[in-house]
């Protein structure tokens, strides 16, 4: 059975339908605004991801150059040497280019290198932007800016020269490795050696060589098994080579010059074949025990005490 609506009832129905339509429209606008904001956030996040990956790729390509000697044997600047500042600048430029290629502005100051003081392998990128969305207020729709922040982080897996390990593992030092004569050591030790080697060439026409550097406990165990005499080979876990601070140097013809000059460059004499740079504050700990932290602290302080031990 059907009943014909009266005029008043028809009016109330129309108002109800208009109200429902208005509510649906408002809900649609809210959803549309929310969708715009989400879309903009997603675009910024993709841009940040790509910028971080691009920076890490640039860092990986030049990573070994950080550990090249700053000066060649003839005294000329080494064109392959890359400073820490140059390394970070290349990463920032790569990140900025990648962000701009995706239509997003990126401030180079928003590119960081978390958790490292030298030769960082991680890079972070923060991309900021703004999305204008429609919101309902004061009885009318208005446009409001919504701030967007997207952060991404990437990490490279570095390799040393000729595929050698770039990071020390299995000893008392875990960090980046530099190589001299194919032997690994801490980067600050390599810089100290470079200064001393340059002086030896300039002053005495002597070419210093490195015959041993960082050794893992596993490598030390093999040496000790072949010659289990603590007088000549330290047991595993006891050799200071595990800290990346110990260098065995040659040739024997250089020992006289080293005995007279090595202290100028931060090395202390220990064995008949070994030289090690240490800080003034940790020289006692390095030669007399102490924790690993005590024995390795201060090498980047610039207060290196040169010393060596040979007969």
Does residue 181 sit within a domain? yes
Buried b (16+ CB within 10 A) or exposed e, 205-242: ebebebebbbbbbebbeebbeeeeeeeebbebeebbbb
155 vs 57: CA distance, rounded Å? 9
Q: pLDDT band at residue 158, thresholds of 50, 70 and 90?
A: confident
- In the numeric block, the tokens 């809210």 are attached to 30
Angle at 30 between CA 143 and CA 17, to 5 degrees: 115
Instruction: Calculate mean pLDDT across residues 16-23.
Output: 47
Q: Which domain holds residue 62?
A: 7-155
pLDDT at 129: 86
Q: Answer whether residue 2 is part of any domain.
A: no
136 with 276, same domain? no
166/113 same-domain check: no
CATH of the domain at 271: 3.30.1380.10
Q: Identify whether residues 225 and 285 lie together within a single domain.
A: yes
- Report how far residue 290's alpha carbon sits from residue 283's, in angstroms, rounded to the nearest whole number: 11
- Do 150 and 173 share a domain, yes or no? no
Higher per-residue pLDDT: 16 or 131: 131
Q: Which of 127, 155, 183 is the last residue of a domain?
A: 155
**Residue 282 included in any domain:** yes
**Residue 41 placed within a domain:** yes
0.85 exceeded by pTM: no
Query: Same domain for 123 and 213?
Result: no
Q: Among 75-79, 137-141, 265-269, name the one with the lowest average pLDDT.
A: 137-141
Q: In this model, does residue 28 exceed pLDDT 50?
A: no
pLDDT in tens, 94-127: 999 999 999 999 999 999 999 867 889 999 999 9
Residue 25 has pLDDT above 50, yes or no: no
Q: Indicate the number of domains in the chain.
A: 2
Mean pLDDT of the chain: 78
The last residue of a domain, from among 99, 122, 155? 155
246 shares its domain with 115? no
- Determine the Cα–Cα distance for residues 271 and 274; give it in Å rounded to an integer: 5
Query: Which of these three, 109, 133, 155, is where a domain ends?
Result: 155
């Amino acid at each position: 059975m059907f009943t014909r609506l009266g005029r008043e009832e028809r009016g109330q129905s129309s108002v109800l339908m208009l109200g429902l339509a208005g509510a649906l429209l408002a809900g649609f606008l809210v959803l549309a605004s929310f969708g715009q904001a989400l879309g903009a956030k997603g675009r910024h996040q993709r841009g940040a991801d790509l910028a971080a990956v691009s920076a890490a790729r640039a860092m990986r390509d030049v990573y070994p150059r950080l550990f090249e000697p700053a000066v060649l044997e003839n005294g000329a600047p080494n064109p392959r040497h890359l400073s820490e500042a140059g390394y970070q600048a290349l990463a920032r430029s790569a990140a900025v280019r990648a962000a701009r290629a995706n239509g997003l502005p990126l401030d180079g100051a928003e590119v960081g290198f978390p958790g490292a003081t030298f030769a960082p392998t991680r890079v972070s990128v923060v991309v900021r932007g703004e999305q204008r969305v429609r919101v309902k207020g004061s009885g009318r729709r208005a446009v409001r800016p919504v701030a967007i922040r997207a952060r991404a982080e990437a990490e490279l897996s570095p390799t040393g020269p000729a595929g050698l390990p770039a990071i020390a593992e299995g000893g008392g030092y875990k960090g980046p490795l530099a190589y001299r004569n194919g032997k690994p050591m801490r980067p600050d030790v390599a810089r100290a050696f470079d200064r001393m080697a340059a002086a030896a060439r300039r002053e005495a026409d002597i070419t210093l060589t490195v015959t041993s550097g960082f050794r893992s406990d596993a490598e030390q165990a093999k040496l000790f098994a072949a010659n289990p005499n603590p007088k000549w080979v330290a047991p595993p876990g006891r050799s200071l080579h595990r800290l990346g601070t110990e260098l065995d140097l040659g040739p024997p013809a250089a020992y006289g010059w080293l005995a007279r000059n090595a202290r100028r460059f931060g090395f202390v004499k220990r064995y008949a074949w070994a030289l090690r740079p240490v800080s003034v504050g940790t020289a006692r700990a390095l030669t007399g025990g102490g924790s690993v932290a005590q024995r390795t602290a201060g090498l980047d302080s610039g207060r290196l005490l040169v010393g060596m031990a040979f007969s």
